[in-house]
Amino acid sequence: MMRIKFATCLAMVCIMLLPLPARASNESVTLITGETIEARFLDHYWRNGQEYFVFATPSGATLELDRDRIALISFRTFPPRSAAPPLAEAAVEAEPNNGLSSANPIEIDMIARGAITPAGDVDIYRVSLPGPGTIHVACTQPDDLEIQLLDSRKNVLRKSGLTLSDEPLEFSHDVVAAGDHYIRVAGLHSFIEFKEEYRLKVGYTQAGNDPFEPNDTPQQAAAAPLGRRFDSYISRPGDLDYYMLCVWEPSTISVESTQPRDYYLAVLAPDGKTRLAGGDLGFAGERMSVSWDVHQPGTYYVLMKGYSDSEHSMHEPYTMMISVEPRPVR
């Protein structure tokens, strides 16, 4: 949207004659006095700590109002919707859907249509995910909307950033468990009515299968598949993968891996805490290798984790091979 700059004006309402085309419109702005003015919303901006909204009237004039004088802004209408059949069939929102308990169900990869009307309206959709994976949310917007992803406890997991009105709102978020999640669509300003419809689409990519989970502690450590390569995942921030191996005689523990992110690989002592060898040995795509000569029998551990919370992937596995080779006793 083209931003229009205005000269400093001390009046609360400023009308300037500009060559804007007249246009039949159902858009209007209602003042706190109760007066309704037919006008098309153009833009808004801040000046000296005050928010201003800019409109075009049918005569071609430009109307500038400060926020304190506005009770309601109504955007362009579209043909009225009939009583909505189930969302899964018609992909049209069915009011009321302002709360989690009344959320409209939406299928993965289906497009839902709705509108934020009247002012202050909120539309909530429920999507059921079959397991851990990445949810993708995209929404074409008529004007400034905000999209939020919530869990069943109403915690906001992710929300959209601010974009121009003709740009799609979209984001992706990793979810670590199956179950219901919710998409909340609302206006950035509760006093603005968005009668023009939006289109919302929810996608989903299932996480890779990790047969070793849960193995987040030494007590949960998975039995290491010795002498063969296997795949696993650091699937979330803070994910830890422990592997256990029993050594009965003096031996050399060797570990090799390649990883999609910057990961940390180490061989740990029987207490599951003391690092014997390894650490941050390589970056994404690089081969890491570590070895340690064991002199005392016992249970030892191999630990793989992200070097930081941002280093993880539930879709790209790391590949590891662990071997234990007896050493000749001298």
| CATH number of residue 296's parent domain | 2.60.120.380
State whether 276 and 320 are in the same domain: yes
Q: Is the pLDDT of residue 183 over 90?
A: yes
- Phi-psi category of 157—alpha, beta or left, where left has phi over 0 and alpha has psi -120 to 50? alpha
Q: Of 148, 174, 206, which residue sits at a domain end? A: 206
Measured distance CA(29)–CA(39) in Å, rounded: 6
State whether 201 and 229 are in the same domain: no
Measured distance CA(257)–CA(289) in Å, rounded: 6
Q: Is the pLDDT of residue 82 over 50?
A: no
Best-predicted range by mean pLDDT among 58-72, 95-109, 117-131, 310-324? 310-324
Q: What is the DSSP string of 268-279?
A: E-TTS-SEEEEE
97 is in which domain, residue-wise?
87-206
Q: Is the pLDDT of residue 163 over 70?
A: no
Higher-pLDDT residue of 196, 88: 196
| Residue showing tokens 């909204």 | 53
Best-predicted range by mean pLDDT among 7-11, 18-22, 70-74, 201-205? 201-205
> Which residue, among 112, 129, 177, 171, has the nearest Cα to 146 in the 3D structure?
171
Residue 48: inside a domain: yes
Residue 211: inside a domain: no
Quote the DSSP letter at residue 87.
Answer: H
Residue 5: inside a domain: no
Residue 175: inside a domain: yes
State whether 265 and 319 are in the same domain: yes
Residue 35: inside a domain: yes
Q: DSSP 3-state assignment of 125?
A: strand
What CATH number is given to the structural domain containing 58? 2.30.30
The 10s digit of each residue's pLDDT in 88-123 is 443 566 778 888 888 899 888 888 888 888 888 899
State whether 96 and 30 are in the same domain: no
What total of structural domains would you count in the chain? 3
Tell me the pLDDT band of 223, cut-offs 50, 70 and 90. Answer: very high
Contact assessment for residue 149 and residue 289, using Cβ atoms and an 8 Å cutoff: no
> Is the bond leading into 96 cis (omega within 30 degrees of zero)?
yes
Residue 212: inside a domain: no
Residue 96: inside a domain: yes
Mean pLDDT of 69-95: 53
Residue 27: inside a domain: yes
Tell me the pLDDT band of 13, cut-offs 50, 70 and 90. Answer: very low
Q: DSSP 3-state assignment of 106?
A: coil
State whether 202 and 240 are in the same domain: no
